[in-house]
Chain A
Amino acid sequence: MTNPDGAPALSAKNICKSFGDKKILRGISVDVAKGEHIAIIGPSGSGKSTFIRCLNLLEMPDNGTLRLDGQQVLDAELKTPTRSVRSLRKRVGMVFQSFNLFSTHTALENVSLAQRLALGRTRDESSTRSEELLKRVGLKDHMDKRPGQLSGGQQQRVAIARTLAMDPEVILFDEPTSAIDPEMRVEVLKVMTELAEGGMTMMMVTHEIEFAKQAADRVMFLADGEVMEMGPSGQILTDPENERIRRFVNALSGVI
């Protein structure tokens, strides 16, 4: 099955997830090509967050398969062992809505910790890499601060650096700007745009329509746990055929 060159960076098939009796995901499939950027939009409760969390197994799907670069990493009916979950997470980065930085560690340590503990890099290697990444996201002067001393936008940029330090093949973003003050969002979106331009494979749950238009190649519109529509971002975000999507996009863009 392995076909590194032609295979999608990430391939999800028929991902299903229920919480109790409530069906959250009713079989979602997507192939993400290498270097592709997909925006996931949809009303709250549509399953966007659950879906993206299933992609790095923060939620274990009830059913479905997951392939990374052609290699199967999850056959949900078989339930892969923990070791394999960790190896998947080394390859698939995650940026959370609420940042989830380690609150007792400095920005530098946040970025370095997993490089040492999960990737086995030396202290020097990891520090050098962390400094370089924190500079790249514009936080040169904040490396020794703890999350509590940083603004939301700064924390999210540390979180992006923390993920980049793992050299992931794909990065998942779960509403990365929703918990940030509007004027601080720009700096995070700028970093994300740079990543996209650099060719990183990205899946992003977002409400930022303008950003999605620019940065996303394709848009996935989720409703009630299903893909209602999937297509080029230009088409779906500027001229959606589906009435429900049109209303949703207009509402987010502030068009009445």
Chain B
Amino acid sequence: MLDPAYILEGLWITIQIWFGALIVSTVLAIPVAMLRRTKNPGARFLGALWAWIARGIPPIAWLIIIFFGLSLGIISAVPVLAAIVGLGIVNSAYLGDSIRAGLDSVPDGQREGAASVALNRWDTLFRVVLPQAVPVMLASAAAYSITLLKNTAIASIIGANELVFYAYNAVQVGADPLLSFFTIGLVYLAFTVPVGIIARWLDTRVRRGTVKVAH
């Protein structure tokens, strides 16, 4: 039988990896999105290259490369940190797309309107563009964050003691495999379903135009 205390402990680690990777990916995705939106072809290529590499290698391979292959000091020594960095890199490619799509969704006229009344770039971004772009970004970012949460299960491979790790170990010492994994499946659902609902709600709001109004 899978001990509820272990489930809680595993869940706590799962959430650490999830949130940690979300933060790492956000930090990485902002410059990636900016690179991909510049006019400079070299900078655009760098951004695209990052996205290809980050997303073109399977997440499990990223984790193994970082944990066993590279020497990144403490990151390569602590499984949870390696998982946060590896999954953060993978998610940064998707999140970069979300940020870029959000910024692209704001019509040029909004920036021109801001320019015509002498707003500076900073105010234009924070007062005019982002209020419209963020809901668009969040709708797809929330959907990607579900994939990210499910990918945290891979961290068990490098020994991070998250949910799958405990379920697997419980099975090794005699717990029922079906019941153990069904149980943690429900724990994942408790997070993925609400986030999915939020993502869809944001998405319909954006599509209906209550957030982003044409012209």
Residues of A within 8 A of B (CB): 56, 58, 86-87, 89-90, 93-94, 96, 98-105, 113-114, 117-118, 146-148, 159, 162-163, 166, 179
Residues of B within 8 A of A (CB): 109-110, 112-120, 123, 127-128, 131-132, 209-215
A98 to B112, CA, bound (A): 11
A-B contact list, 6 entries, CB within 8 Å:
A93-B117, A98-B109, A99-B215, A117-B120, A147-B215, A166-B118
Q: Which residues of B contact A58 (CB under 8 A)?
A: 112, 115-116
Query: Beyond A103-B212, A146-B213, A148-B213, is A96–B113 a contact (Cβ under 8 Å)?
Result: yes
CB distance from A34 to the nearest CB of B (A): 21
Residue B123 contacts which of A89, A94, A117 (CB distance < 8 angstroms)? A117
Residue B116 contacts which of A87, A113, A146, A163 (CB distance < 8 angstroms)? A163
B118 in contact with A113 (CB, 8 Å): no
B116 in contact with A93 (CB, 8 Å): yes
Extra contacts, 17 of them, besides A103-B213, A104-B128, A118-B117 (Cβ < 8 A), are A58-B112, A58-B115, A86-B120, A89-B116, A90-B118, A93-B116, A98-B215, A100-B112, A103-B212, A114-B114, A117-B123, A118-B120, A118-B123, A147-B213, A147-B215, A148-B214, A162-B117
A99 to B112, CA, bound (A): 10
A103 to B214, CA, bound (A): 8
CB distance from A40 to the nearest CB of B (A): 17
CB distance from B107 to the nearest CB of A (A): 8
Query: Beyond A102-B110, A103-B212, is A94–B127 a contact (Cβ under 8 Å)?
Result: no
A99 to B214, CA, bound (A): 11
